[in-house]
Structure formats: C-alpha cells, structure tokens
Amino acid sequence: MKTKDLKTILGNEELSLEDKVAQIMALNGQDVNAAKEYSNTRVQELENEVADLKAAKKELETKAESYKDYDDLVKFKNDTLSEKENGQKIDYLKKIGFKRPDLFFDKVDWSKSKYDEAKKEYTGVDVDALKSTYSDLFTDPTPGRIKFGSVENGKTETASANSSMNNFIRGIK
C-alpha cells in the first residue's frame, strides 16, 4: 500500500469510516496477495535450485568415484615405473661390478644421473669414487676371470684338505 493511496482514501470525505476501512483493507489485501505470490514464486525457485544442487552433488560424487579409480591407476603406474627404474639401477651396478647392488644402490647419489637407454647404463655417476669408497663391495668384472674359492678359471687345483672342504661346501663331489 502506497502512502499516496492511503491519503486519497482518508482524504475522501464522502466515504464513511467503514468504507474507508474497507478500501484500506482491500488495498492491504492486494499488497498481501502480491507479497504472497512473490514469496510462493521465490520459494519454488529456491526449491528448484536445491534440487539442481542435489543432482549436481550426486553427479560429482559419481565422478569422484571414477577419479578414485584413476588415482589408483596413476599410483600403480608410478610404482611400476619406480620398480623398473630401480631394476635398471641394480642391473647397472651389477654391470660395473658391485657384489650386492640391491643393498648398495641406496649409497649412490642418483639425483645427478641420467639413464642412457641405448647403452643400458647411467651417466653422471662417479664410478671411480664409488669403487674407492666401497672397495669391499666391488669386484672387477673382467671377463674370463672367474674365481671359485682360491682357484682362478684355467688353473688346476691340487687336492688338499682345504679344497676338499670347499668342494663339500659347494656340493661338488
């Protein structure tokens, strides 16, 4: 109800008090009905928005489940690549002559190294420093020199109690 309309009704001297009240109530009823209509429309709009948000939430939850599977696949891929890289490192250490590369490769600084796929070796690893520092873990991988006990390949072993014991331990009769 507007102030102008209220002044017009109250200023009309031809109307009785009851008619004035009835007109004011009619104007007020129109305002209440308009507010009620707006309120009902707004409530319906908000309910539609809530329904849309619930549907979007459900869709996001469904997508999140699929991303969980994706995250598992990424973790599996990274673990597999890490295992492959560790295998390459161990093979490289075997190639250059370290006795127990699986126990040794943590002592090597791999951060500066780069794997050469063609040569199957790492560049950037200071092999000479490693050999001097960990000489007890290193064996010269010279081809043709295989040692069994105290006998080198190509030499004959004389029978002795010591060699008999070595053969027994190795399972040779």
In a domain, 115, yes or no: yes
Residue 79: the pLDDT is 83
Residue 143 has pLDDT above 60, yes or no: no
- pLDDT value of position 63: 79
Domain annotation covers residue 106: yes
Domain encompassing residue 90: 16-141
Cα 162 from Cα 167, distance rounded (Å): 9
Is 77 within a domain?
yes
Question: Which own/partner pairs from 151-159 qualify as long-range (CB within 8 Å, at least 24 positions apart)?
Answer: none
Looking at residue 54, its pLDDT comes to 94
Q: Is residue 164 part of a domain?
A: no
pLDDT band at 121; cut points 50, 70, 90: confident
pLDDT at 162 over 70: no
Distances (CA, A) of 40 to 25, 49, 172: 22, 14, 98
62 pLDDT higher than 60: yes
pLDDT > 90? residue 155: no
Q: What is the pLDDT of residue 156?
A: 52
Number of domains in the chain: 1
Whose structure tokens read 């009851």? 18
Domain membership flag for residue 148 = no
The listed range with the strongest mean pLDDT (41-45, 75-79, 102-106) is: 41-45
Distance of alpha carbon 149 from alpha carbon 68, whole angstroms: 56
pLDDT (0 to 100) of residue 52: 94
Read off φ and ψ for residue 125, nearest 5 degrees.
Answer: -100, 125
Residue 167 in any domain: the answer is no
